[in-house]
Amino acid sequence: MSKLSPAEGSNPSASDLYWSFTKMSLQAFGGVLPLAERMIVGERQWLTKREFVEMLGISQTLPGPNIINLSLMLGDKFQGPRGAFAAVMGCLSFPILIVSALALFYQSVSDQPIAQGALRGMSAVSVGLVLAMGFRLLGTQKDFKVGWLAIACTVIGVGVFGLKLTMAILVFGLPTLLVRYWQIARKARQEAQ
Amino acid sequence: MIALLFPPPDWALLGEIFIRFLLLSLLATGGALAIAPAMHDYLVGQRALLTDAQFVGAIALAQSAPGPNVLFVTVLGWQAAGFWGAAAMTAGALLPSALLAVYAGRIVGNNPQSRFMRALREGLAPLAIGLTFATGVLLITPWVEDLRMMAVVLVITVIAYKTKLQPIFMIMAGALLGGFGLLG
């Protein structure tokens, strides 16, 4: 990141980063990002709204979960690799313990019909949540027609016909990327004229 | 119990899982759910380490706990190969993209609005969205003939899309419905 000091004087230490991200991730059930904005821009004022949106944009572009990428980049910005490590561990350490405890608890009761039934119900809800996430993301694609085609092809190819991920990236991802680049370049040319 | 949690590590398998997940991690634009189909193909299909029910169950357990959704890979790891499985899958799924985020973030962070960065972000979004839906399609496939399960999926999709109800309440409702044996 460029060397900028967003809100004057904010320079969180590694321990600040760790505990702030820990507190945030422990409050986050199903989606950490909305809480991240509230904490980073609102409460702690580590970034301005604009800086947050830019950093989020980059973290969405890079592979890996957005919140993980965002915490790494934010930590790195303030305290270098130590800060990145502290922030990402804040996101992960307690949640990993909790999710492991849940997994082990479930394993220990998994021969009980009640537990099996409960997990079955939770699973159905979970899939509904995944699909709803897909529909919410669709809303960001309104003016990108080629994008719709790529989405449809990916769903059918991967979801129904079991197309491999690498193939999906090559056949649907790369062409869409090139089309988008061409569209952006064309728009820039038109605006320049 | 302890023996169950810490099975003697099968290093060949763990190494293979770790490397597999390392590579997947680098392809995970759009987050962990986008590479769920590839994980499913490997863990449930090719290696038969997990069943369909265990796979979707891992996602459900992770969504019912606080923290990032990516931690379903930790649950998958526990189920597939105990503690070392959880460690191998979690580290594999997170390490490469984490290193990339720090180093690539420093480079591209200077100009996030460049044409190339915009194209990358907007051009890969459809693939990520498609993969999210593909994950959903893949996960409901075992239930297509089960009307009650499909009804729950449909109702939750609509509620979660249309309202801001916290997911944890929906998951609790699902656990109750299923726990009372109403979902077969």
Q: What angle, rounded to 10 degrees, do the helices at A49-61 and A66-109 form?
A: 60
| Among B26, B100, B137, B164, the residue to mutate for chain A (most A Cβ within 10 A) | B137
Q: What is the mean pLDDT of chain A?
A: 90
Q: Enumerate the residues of chain B whose CB falls inside 8 A of the CB of residue A86.
A: none
Count helices and strands in chain B by DSSP H and E runs: 8, 0
What pLDDT does residue A34 have?
Answer: 79
Q: Is the Cβ of B94 closer than 8 Å to some Cβ of chain A? A: yes
The pLDDT of B77-101, averaged and rounded, is 94
Domain boundaries, chain B: 2-124
B171: nearest CA partner in chain A: A122
A81, A88 Cβ separation under 8 angstroms: no
Q: Which of A65, A84, A119 comes nearest B31 by C-beta?
A: A65
Distance from CA of A127 to the nearest CA of B (A): 6
d(Cα A72, Cα A78) in Å, to the nearest integer? 10
Report residue B162's pLDDT band, with 50, 70 and 90 as the boundaries.
very high
Q: Which of B61, B155, B168 comes nearest A103 by C-beta?
A: B61
Q: Is the Cβ of B95 closer than 8 Å to some Cβ of chain A? A: no
The pLDDT of B142-150, averaged and rounded, is 96
pLDDT of B1 higher than 70: no
What pLDDT does residue B37 have?
Answer: 95
A120: nearest CA partner in chain B: B178
d(Cα B92, Cα B96) in Å, to the nearest integer? 7
Q: Is the Cβ of B147 closer than 8 Å to some Cβ of chain A? A: no
Picking from B36, B34, B28, B39, the residue whose alpha carbon sits closest to that of residue B96 is B28
pLDDT digit string, tens, across residues A6-18: 455 578 999 999 9
- Verify whether the Cβ–Cβ distance A61 to B124 is below 8 Å: yes
Question: Percent of chain A scored above 70 by pLDDT?
Answer: 95
Q: What angle do CA B14, A31, A162 make, to 5 degrees?
A: 50
pLDDT of B28 higher than 80: yes
B162, A139 Cβ separation under 8 angstroms: no
pLDDT digit string, tens, across residues B56-84: 999 999 999 999 989 999 999 999 999 99
DSSP A106-121: HHHHTTSHHHHHHHHH
B113, A50 Cβ separation under 8 angstroms: no
Structure tokens at B137: 């399609």
HEC letters along B18-80: HHHHHHHHHCCCCCHHHHHHHHHHHHHHHCCCCCHHHHHHHHHHHHCCECCHHHHHHHHHHHH
pLDDT of B49 higher than 90: yes
Question: What is the phi-psi region of residue A137: left when phi exceeds 0, alpha when psi lies from -120 to 50, beta otherwise?
Answer: alpha
What residues contact A56, with CB distance under 8 A and at least 6 apart? A33, A66, A70
d(Cα A162, Cα A130) in Å, to the nearest integer? 18
Domain boundaries, chain A: 1-109
ipTM for the assembly: 0.92
